Amino acid sequence: MIVGPTTDLAACHALRRRVFIEEQLVSEAEELDGLDEGALHLLAQIDGRPVGTARILIRGETGKIGRVCVLAEARGQGIGAALMRAALAELRTLPGMTRAKLGAQIHALGFYEALGFRAFGPEYDDAGIAHRDMELML
Local confidence band at 100 (pLDDT 50, 70, 90 cut-offs): very high
Residue 65, classified by CB atoms within 10 Å of its CB into exposed (0-12), middle (13-18) or buried (19+), is buried
**pLDDT for position 6:** 97
* Contact yes or no for 60/94 (Cβ under 8 A): no
**pLDDT for position 42:** 98
Classified as helix, coil or strand, 39 is coil
Local confidence band at 52 (pLDDT 50, 70, 90 cut-offs): very high
Mean pLDDT of 50-62: 97
Name the residue ranges covered by the structural domains of the chain. 2-102
Mean pLDDT of 10-18: 97
Say how many residues make up the chain. 138
Mean pLDDT of 63-90: 97
Give the other-Cβ count within 10 Å of 33's Cβ. Answer: 10
What is 2-102's CATH number, 3.40.630.30, 3.40.50.720, 1.10.10.10, 3.40.640.10? 3.40.630.30
**pLDDT for position 47:** 95
Percent of the chain scored above 90 by pLDDT? 96
Residue 28, classified by CB atoms within 10 Å of its CB into exposed (0-12), middle (13-18) or buried (19+), is exposed
C-alpha to C-alpha distances, 76 to 36, 45, 82, 127, nearest whole angstrom: 27, 14, 12, 25
**pLDDT for position 101:** 98
Give the other-Cβ count within 10 Å of 135's Cβ. Answer: 18
